[in-house]
Structure 1
Amino acid sequence: MFFNRKQRISEKYAPVGKIGEGTYGLVYKARNIQNQSGNSEAESFVAVKKFKSFKSGDGISPTAIREIKLLRELKNPYIVDLVDVMLDEADKALYLVFDYAEHDLLEMIRCHHNRSAPHAMPMHTVKSLLWQILHGINYLHKNWIIHRDLKPSNILVTGLDKPPNERGCVKIADFGLARLFQSPLRPLTDVDAVVVTIWYRAPELLLGAKHYTKAIDLWAIGCIFAELVTSKPLFQGQEKERKGDDRNPFQSDQIDKIFRILGKPSVERWPGVIDLPHWSQAQTWQNYPCILHDRVRGLAKGSSGYDLLTKLLEYDPDKRITAEDALKHPFFTEEPRPTHIAFVDPNIDPYKSRPVTPLDPKKDIGWAMSATTSGTNGQTPMTRPMPQSAPLFSSAPPPFKRTRINDR
């Protein structure tokens, strides 16, 4: 990786507060204080993902490598923009800088659920958000990429800080688990079997599949669709912790939650289920009737919206609807029609911004505390501007050159 400029991160971005935290590190909201040419510009904000500091000789996190490698090639209105990459040798941390979005679906859904008088999200908003998510995922799948971690907190939505025609726009984020697949389609095998947060994890994964396809993204979208309609997760199971060498324990509680709502699948309905490692345990369970229509009352049984939901939540991944076909579904041709602005009124943002936690001097060391100092000592970090996006693959992507970092 080449860097053609030397500049302190604090000279470009001033941290405002923390907006997220995960196993990889922290995410901050920051003020963009300079443009690429070094001139002052009107106030704008970015999201800065700081990966945990690395020890000398350890190299950069494979998760970060994967995210950079994919996002530098992606250019789509419904995919988050990676605008900068900075490697700070002083605090031995890698920073990925993204265009900022005021909201995520998790907070938007909570807004409807937590009110003293909860009310449903407007169908125009539901339909527009779903339509945009499907467009973004269709773009990824057309370019041989599976996201593998779709959930409401990873779906960002722009707010009133953007121009009117860019408000209420989905930005799919967090590509740390994303990976390439090939055509003709060959199922993926993963050494790390745990992909997708458990509430949004497809049944083939829950039943121990070591081979899977892009259909896992569509199941997650089905779960998100139901959550947009009802303002609460559809399948809320308890995750069983991995112990010892068991990388993929049977998530019995989560699969039970699914069976109780969709009914237990039969071998006739899903022939491949008989070959899944955990099916021998699940097949003896009680048969339940499908009560999905009772859980998503915002979609009338027999309506086009309910039909689309059932196609997204199809047990058999070979029969599950694709993103391309979902976009052609009659649900999106009926009123209210979806638009690229999810808000009912583009001049009114009915949702609170993502919460920003004040910086903690005891935890947020390094660049993040530069907001309270006039400068920093130490070595100058290296940065590079992102290159112009190259055309994506029109056929199956060539295999990446093997390195000591496993691209799984």
Structure 2
Amino acid sequence: MQTLEIFYEHVMRMERFIPIRPLGNGSFGIFYLVFHIELGIVAVKLIQKYKYDKHEREWESAIQITNKQHSSPFILKYKRYDYNRSCDIITMEYANIKTLEIIAKQPQILLPSYTLHALMKQILQGIKSFHSSGLIHRPPGSGRVYVKISDFGLAKQEDTIYEQTYIKGTLPYQAPELFNKKINSTQIVDIYASGIIFFRLLTRRYPVNERNFKEQGKKIVQLKGIKRPTEIKDDILWDLLSQLLEFDPDKRITAAEALQHPYFTSPEAKNDISKEQQELAQQAADAELEGDSSITEFDKDPTFIVAESKARKNLKLKRKINPNQFMKFKINNVKIL
């Protein structure tokens, strides 16, 4: 074991965390899967002191969302922030299942229309909740949307300063206006990114994916807009995607508006529900009547339900994670720049 990992594990044990295994690392420090006697299995982020200010803002953003959204099932719950002499520790829910990227990379996986409806609604509802707290989830990608549990990483207030920084692997999700130095970043960049997520789930490719920031921006300028791919046959679905992928940020729809689109609200969409979705919604309603305070409006709405059996099949899960419940897709890694 490396010396640095030994150091981090010593710090965790001092704070009553039992290290299980590393989950990843970065310039900030390291992620660990741990056990805590009161919190159970959780993920912790150990942050080096010189990164303190940025991650303190992450914690403040998490509190801001929690205070405004309370128990939104589509936004990660942060548990606590521990201050240590050597480093600080953020404790959060553990993303225990694979990301949507696994679907995007497997062309043989065909999502039923009712599953796609529910998946898209969950993601848009999560972005809507995030935006109502005055934050930008920049940039969400299919590798940063997890099933059931996730962290949203670093949150960013809607800014007034252009910044040309981006995270590795997120370039295809960057909204066109982010390539213009004179335009400020606003919440609407998230809408374009969500459109890219859905585009990739449907086509298994990015509409634009160049080698670097300069070439990506040049290609975006040349295109003027995203053309309809042959894989998308549904006219109503493409109408929604084209509004999410609108190059003009002033014309791009919001998450709230997207949720009111006919793709979700038409009689056909409302009736596109599987038997399992209906059963799970009824089970949630019954549980609420019996006193289960954890039930939300989304648990009782079959149009928001991605049935666990369907998600398990598509994501190639080898065991059931949560019997008689459904998968919730939450957003990960919001960037503070």
How does the TM-score come out when normalised to structure 2? 0.70
Deviation at 1:122, TM superposition (A): 3.3
Match of 1:101 among 66, 77, 95: 95
Aligned residues: 271
The correspondence for 1:264, drawn from 192, 215, 224, is: 224
Letter in 1 for 2:171: I
Q: Tell me what 2:307 maps to.
A: 343
Q: What runs of 5+ residues in structure 1 fail to find an aligned partner?
A: 1-6, 37-43, 159-169, 182-186, 240-250, 266-289, 355-406
Partner residue of 2:251? 319
SS at match of 1:17: strand
**C-alpha distance in 2, partners of 1:110/1:47?**
25
Amino acid at match of 2:63: R
Question: Alpha-carbon deviation of 1:352?
Answer: 4.7
Q: 2, 27, 32: which one pairs with 2:31?
A: 27
- The answer to whether the 8 A contact 1:200-1:220 is kept is yes
Distance in 2, Cα, partners of 1:216 & 1:328: 19
Q: Which amino acid aligns with 1:24?
A: F
- Give the one of 17, 21, 41 matched to 1:17: 21
Mapping for residues 152-191 of structure 1, pairs under 5 Å: 152-158=142-148, 171=150, 173-176=151-154, 178-181=155-158, 188-190=160-162
Identical-pair percentage: 28
Q: What pairs up with 1:102-117 in 2 under 5 angstroms? A: 102-109=96-103, 112-113=106-107
Partner amino acid, structure 1, of 2:179: L
| Matched residue type, 1:300 | K
SS of residue matched to 1:148: coil
- Once the two structures are superposed, the pairs formed by residues 9-408 of structure 1 within 5 Å of their partners are 9-10=12-13, 12-30=16-34, 32-35=35-38, 44-51=40-47, 53-54=48-49, 58=50, 60-73=51-64, 74=66, 75=70, 76-89=72-85, 92-109=86-103, 112-113=106-107, 118-158=108-148, 171=150, 173-176=151-154, 178-181=155-158, 188-190=160-162, 192-195=163-166, 197-239=170-212, 251-258=213-220, 263-264=223-224, 291-294=227-230, 297=231, 299-300=232-233, 303-333=235-265, 334=269, 335-337=271-273, 339-343=303-307, 345=309, 348=312, 350-352=314-316
Q: Deviations over 1:176-224 (max 9, x none)?
A: 2x3223xxxxx7214x432563111010111324413211010111101
Does the 8 A contact of 1:109 with 1:228 survive in 2?
yes
Query: Structure 2: 5+ residue runs without aligned partners?
Result: 1-9, 274-301, 319-335
Give me the whole-angstrom Cα distance separating, in 2, the residues matched to 1:343 and 1:50.
34
> What is the root-mean-square deviation of aligned Cα atoms in Å?
3.0
Structure 1 pair 26/141, CA: closer, same or farther in 2 (3 Å)?
same
The Cα of 1:107 is off from its aligned counterpart by 4.1
Larger Rg: 1
Return the alpha-carbon distance in structure 1 between the equivalents of residues 255 and 96 of structure 2.
26
The Cα offsets for residues 306-353 of structure 1, whole Å up to 9 and x where unpaired, read as 111000000110000101100101111315356443236379464256
- Match of 1:317, SS state, is coil
Secondary structure class of the residue paired with 2:306: coil
Q: Which has the higher contact order (CA 8 A, sep 6+)?
A: 1
User: Are residues 352 and 86 of structure 1, via their aligned partners in 2, closer, same or farther at CA, if it must alter by over 3 Å?
Assistant: farther
Amino acid at match of 2:152: D
TM (norm. structure 1) is: 0.59
**CA drift at 1:100:** 1.4
SS in 1 for 2:189: helix
Partners in 1 of 2:126 and 2:303 — Cα distance?
14
Distance change >3 Å, CA 23–CA 352, structure 1 → 2: farther
- Secondary structure in structure 1 of the residue aligned to 2:44: strand
Residue 111 (structure 1) shift: 5.9
